[in-house]
Chain A
Amino acid sequence: MSQVRADAAPTALPALAEHQSRTPWVDLRSRLLRNRLSAFGMFGIILLLAIALIGPLLAPYDPAAPSPARLQPPTLQHLMGTENLGRDVFSRFLYGTRVSLFVGLGSVAFGLIIGALLGMLAGLRAGSLWDTLIMRAMDVVLAFPLLVLVPVLAGVLQTRTIQLGPIGLNSIAVVGLAIGLVSAPVFARVARASVLAEMREDYIMAARSFGAAGRDLLFGNLLPNIQAPLIVQSAFSLAIAIAAEAAVSFLGLGVQPPDSSWGNMLADARRFVIAGAWWLVVFPSAGIALAVLSFNLVGDVLRDVLDPRAERN
């Protein structure tokens, strides 16, 4: 590809031809796969995403349908056994993976958009009243521990389905929004700090001297340069969000039956583990562990690759 281009214009810019295909993103992908830990993390994420996307199509049973075969250990009929109402754990796990990842991804996307927007605005108007108002509001949210605020928010909100115009929010969406709201301050801080650092750069002055301002400056010139730390933070926030959803659902304040999620599967399992029904605990726990570990591993490598200041090995 780059060979063809180089031949087309043999006189010009020899340096460009060899670099053309190595954009920062290509470089990132190769580095993510070269590192063994992050390759494992990528594999875990892809596996979980695949389960979330196509898993429910493969589910052998209705995840909510009880059957007389209660508390069966794993067999060929029930790959992960059955639980106290005779429902197939494997089917519930497939559906639960979708819910848990959906809550994780949705909440981080929500937190990222809200947090990054507010943070960029604060950074652009650093020192102004807007800056103070936004960042102190974020501090207030940050002052509450995640695992306290999310159950409270979710508990307050989720006694019924909330109707926002035509959109009805069920317990899954409410938990997602609550976690997203709580994760926004971290993104706001990262975005603000990045904007402050970038605003000192010459290219911003140059862009302004060429007439860029406002939205153009913020999204056209600044955003591409502060996306790296935001992406890194997203990976870590995903791990936290998935763990938070599990914790809140485990407490019975998150995703409500008959929907399953890793957290409420564990909650249901509490009373039967002592009786030896290990399969009720192992599989959802493995899901949580794999998700949290994968996102953290990928986040670590992303930080090394995208942040030149971090030490590389």
Chain B
Amino acid sequence: MQNGTDRPGTLLDVRGLTTRFATDRGLVHAVEDISFTIQPGEAVGLVGESGSGKSTVLRSLLGLVKPPGRVVSGEVFFRGRDLRALPDDELRRIRGGQISLIFQDPVNALNPSLTIGDQLRRMLRLHRATVPPDGFDREIMRMLARVGIDATGKLNGYAFNYSQGQLQRIMIAAACLAGTPSLLLADEPTTSLDVTIEAQVLQLLRDLRQELGLALVLVTHNLALVSELCDRVLVMYAGRLVEDGDVYSVFEAPQHPYTRQLLRALPRFPASGERLEAITGSVPDLVSPSPGCSFAPRCEQYLGTVCDTKVPPLFDAGNAHQRAACHLYT
């Protein structure tokens, strides 16, 4: 706990995180200079359209960006220690032990050639020195029972023996119960599930979070999910953070023009028959980002040259603890 955080209680403190992908077309600036903090037990939604860099942020936090991607700079302080500076074996113990990741598609996230029991046993071996090896199976049954799966005699099944919903429950059990995590990273955890299963899995996540005091970073483009599950929301656009605030403030009074236009584009129930609003223009090219605000070409409140030449930092805007990266608030 020696260096790093300003606020001593802060669980995660990300500073200037920048991740780039070297492609044939040039460097893709997937994540540019992102900073945010997470308090213990806090649930934060990370939203943005496809390609805005949400998932890359999650992977960058754990140092799991696939080549040709690379975290080029920034610090990720977890409980005061910079994960990027940790030796490999310590980082390994944190992955799955203290920070867990839940994937969008559990079918692909489980090893197709190993039994479910095998995979969970491996995790216990890595993260639970206190459980004796002959107690693994009992512990696994207990973990699976907690997520609503009676696995009596079924531990020798493979991933294809289980349904999508069951697999996501197994993944959640692995993520939340195999180690002793304090931070859960979820990458669109319910997108691959049908609606009724989605509701059950969300309830399960909510319960486990409360029970274990887990902080959550939820990556999604489903804003309804964020309002249901999260305390705070971070809005990303073209690899940058554009707005940060508590869910209520951001949804009631969005400060960044992008957030405003994004929320207006949501379909509303009573007003059926109206045309859906869309944000005009298209997502900018991440290979050669503009020197100014990347939303400027699509912005309704374009201010002139300042928007094209200077990247706006996050300014205080709107309610307390609400910030927006827009020159309107200079």
A65 an interface residue at 8 Å Cβ cutoff?
Answer: no
Stretch touching chain A among B110-118, B251-259, B303-311: B110-118
Are A212 and B122 also in contact (CB < 8 A) when A19-B161, A206-B101, A206-B110 are?
yes
A311 an interface residue at 8 Å Cβ cutoff?
Answer: no
Give B138-182 as 1s and 0s: 1 = Cβ < 8 Å from A's Cβ atoms. 000000000001111110111011110010000100110011000
CB neighbours of B43 from chain A (8 A): none
A12-B149 in contact (CB<8A) = yes
A203-B109 in contact (CB<8A) = yes
CB neighbours of A211 from chain B (8 A): 92-97, 123, 126-127, 179
A208-B95 in contact (CB<8A) = yes
B109-A23 in contact (CB<8A) = no
Cβ of A2 to closest chain B Cβ, rounded Å:
9
- Please measure, in the bound complex, the distance between the C-alpha atom of A205 and the C-alpha atom of B66, giving whole angstroms: 8
* Most central of B100, B153, B174 by chain A CB within 10 Å: B153
A207 contact from B59, B66, B94, B111, Cβ within 8 A: B111
Main secondary structure of the interface of A (DSSP, over half): helix
- Please measure, in the bound complex, the distance between the C-alpha atom of A205 and the C-alpha atom of B185, giving whole angstroms: 14
For this complex, into which size category does the number of interface residues on chain A fall? 20 to 34
B66-A200 in contact (CB<8A) = yes
CB neighbours of A170 from chain B (8 A): none
A9-B154 in contact (CB<8A) = yes
B105 an interface residue at 8 Å Cβ cutoff?
Answer: yes
For this complex, into which size category does the number of interface residues on chain B fall? 35 or more
A143 an interface residue at 8 Å Cβ cutoff?
Answer: no
B160-A19 in contact (CB<8A) = yes
B174 contact from A5, A8, A11, A210, Cβ within 8 A: A210
Cβ of B184 to closest chain A Cβ, rounded Å:
11
CB neighbours of B64 from chain A (8 A): 205, 208-209
* Most central of A16, A23, A209, A220 by chain B CB within 10 Å: A209
Q: Looking across the interface, which residue of chain A has its beta carbon closest to that of B148?
A: A12
B123-A202 in contact (CB<8A) = no
B108 an interface residue at 8 Å Cβ cutoff?
Answer: yes
A202-B178 in contact (CB<8A) = no
A23-B66 in contact (CB<8A) = no
- Please measure, in the bound complex, the distance between the C-alpha atom of A173 and the C-alpha atom of B179, giving whole angstroms: 49
4 residue pairs, one from A and one from B, having the closest CB atoms: A210-B96, A224-B113, A202-B108, A12-B150
19 further contact pairs, Cβ within 8 A, besides A206-B109, A206-B171: A8-B153, A9-B153, A12-B151, A13-B151, A13-B162, A16-B157, A24-B113, A201-B108, A202-B105, A202-B108, A203-B110, A206-B110, A207-B111, A208-B64, A210-B95, A210-B96, A211-B95, A211-B126, A212-B92
A-B contact pairs, 26 of them (CB 8 A): A8-B152, A8-B153, A9-B150, A9-B152, A11-B150, A12-B152, A16-B161, A19-B160, A20-B161, A202-B108, A202-B109, A203-B109, A203-B110, A205-B64, A205-B66, A206-B103, A209-B95, A209-B101, A210-B175, A210-B178, A211-B92, A211-B97, A220-B114, A221-B114, A224-B114, A225-B113
Q: Give the B-binding residues of A (Cβ under 8 A).
A: 5, 8-9, 11-13, 15-16, 19-20, 23-24, 126-127, 199-203, 205-213, 216, 220-221, 224-225, 227
